[in-house]
Amino acid sequence: MAEIVAGPEAIALGVRLLSEGYLVAFPTETVYGLGADALNPDAVASVFALKGRPSHNPLIVHVSDEAMAQRVVRNWPEAATKLARAFWPGPLTLVLPKTSDVPDAITAGGDTVAVRCPEHPVALALIESFAKPIVGPSANPSGYISPTTPEHVRDAFAEEDLLVIDGGHCRAGIESTVLDLTGDSPAILRQGVIGAHRIAEVLGCDVQVRAAHQAEDEARSPGLIGAHYQPRTPARLVSVDELASAPSSAVLIAWSIESHPAGGALITMPQRLAAYAQAIYRALHEGDRSRGDQIWVESPPSASDDDERAIAEALHERLRRATQR
């Protein structure tokens, strides 16, 4: 049975399980990760098996600092040093050439590896005590809503023997920005809380944002297109105006209204985008558990500056795919 455990004992137990090749769910500032020893191909294979993740979708390697990142990366460019110093620990993943130590399963057979240092004391303590990198895809069945609380993980894997280390509710609430540093110029493959403008400021050069729905990107970063983050209850993304016609059987996830127009269930969202991002997966989980036969998500509030714009775009990608049929 999946079990939630907190405190230093949880980290010690987690380290022991990781070194024996088992999986351990752990908190990060973005979402909960399904951890495994990144240098153990069998443990990595179990991550794909437990999530039901397609083998062509590569995993992110989590490290506790830049030095550990350099153990899995073949060439560590100046840009990586600048970005790591500016944003790590934090929700920025760097795609770089991999060393031969990195099992092929992690990178889906490719020559590059995605690496990041999470900003969460529990994640950092776990990786530091383990003293080796761990993979950490979101701790949910492939395609389902990402987990932002330990209960989300436990409920998704209730029947499995899985240690879930408690780290409370995730602060950022959506997945990291994925930045490809292997091309001629830096390119964002997945948008997140850290926007292109902040990366450009640090690097002093242009940063492309590749539209995740472009077919050519499927080859560069599989897992970035198609349905994902989906509740089991059919969900749709609606405008403020459309909300007025919601039937009572639709659970609403909305920020601009105070009650459901037809008297059904309403999950109220924050109006600030950072808080909205933090709350969205929890709201989708809650909507999925409720008795509604559909979930209507109101389009998120609009952005008022560049930081908010980055979050709004990242949210749009998540919600478009969560509601895609």
Q: Which residues contact 314 (CB under 8 A, 6 or more apart)?
A: 174, 177, 190, 191, 192, 193, 277
Q: Which of 40, 70, 191, 221 binds ligand AMP (CB under 6 A)?
A: 221
Listing DSSP states for 2-16 in one string gives: -EEE-SHHHHHHHHH
- CB–CB of 145/232 below 8 Å? no
Instruction: Report in angstroms how near the CB of residue 105 gets to ligand AMP at its nearest.
Output: 11
| Count of residues in contact with ligand AMP, rule CB under 6 A | 19
224 binds ligand AMP (CB under 6 A): yes
> Smaller CB distance to Mg ion: residue 112 or 138?
138
Report residue 253 as tokens. 């996830």
Spell out the alpha helix ranges (H) of 88-173: 104-107, 121-130, 150-156
- List the x/- string, 123-142, binding to ligand AMP by CB under 6 A: --------------xx----
> Smaller CB distance to ligand AMP: residue 145 or 246?
145
Residue 64 contact partner, candidates ligand AMP, Mg ion, none, CB within 5 to 8 A by sort of partner: none
222 binds ligand AMP (CB under 6 A): yes
Q: Which of 223, 231, 264, 287 binds ligand AMP (CB under 6 A)?
A: 223
Instruction: Report in angstroms how near the CB of residue 146 gets to Mg ion at its nearest.
Output: 5
- CB–CB of 207/200 below 8 Å? yes
107 binds ligand AMP (CB under 6 A): yes
Instruction: Report in angstroms how near the CB of residue 67 gets to Mg ion at its nearest.
Output: 27
Return d(Cα 313, Cα 300) in angstroms, integer: 10
> Smaller CB distance to ligand AMP: residue 140 or 299?
140
Longest dimension (CA), the chain: 59
Q: Which of 44, 84, 113, 174 binds ligand AMP (CB under 6 A)?
A: 113
> For the chain, what is the radius of gyration of the CA atoms?
19
